[in-house]
Structure 1
């Protein structure tokens, strides 16, 4: 899990099972317009969104948020502030690195993400 806060607009996320730019998953931290998607959306390069969080009320825009990611085998789950927003099966990659993404571009700047806590647990 990752506890964070951000200044908006924002397009960031938590990469997991990252092997290459086209072989990875990301739990998004964003507010996307087309299609409508909010933090907790599950992104996979080449496939775009595997699961979309359409409930913007789950995002605490002025404070701390927690994204919890569970990846076990091909089963991928994401929770945002204790509400499940993604539950899918996908076999794009079964291992890789964990990292943070801050998307480049003037439309998101100046972007700021503050991470308060990162918890990792081997399953």
Structure 2
């Protein structure tokens, strides 16, 4: 495995696991509520009751799999819709911190690109 992907993979995994642990409140961090149009979206996700625990579980499982390089391709793929949602939230609804969202999305896309051969069977038609 090239050194570049090792660094990017570990960076992605640590970022995701840290975010998951912050969602659990282990660092005393409460996610800020956006002051723009994203406020209603954030409140709706919190009030739904199931959304944030699922996102936290995905972050922890996917991040651990990426760090440990066990099912790293699956972990990167699981993070794709989450990273897209984070990027679109900050870009469209004005949640701020769009730079971090772009960095996270680029890191995840790089990991997905690295594991692209693992996804080829998904696109082969069955006979």
- Establish whether TM, by shorter chain, passes 0.5: no
Who wins on radius of gyration, i.e. which is larger?
A: 2
- Quick check: which one's strand share is greater? 1
Which TM-score applies when normalising by structure 1? 0.29
Higher relative contact order (CA 8 A, sep 6+): 1
Normalised TM-score (structure 2): 0.28
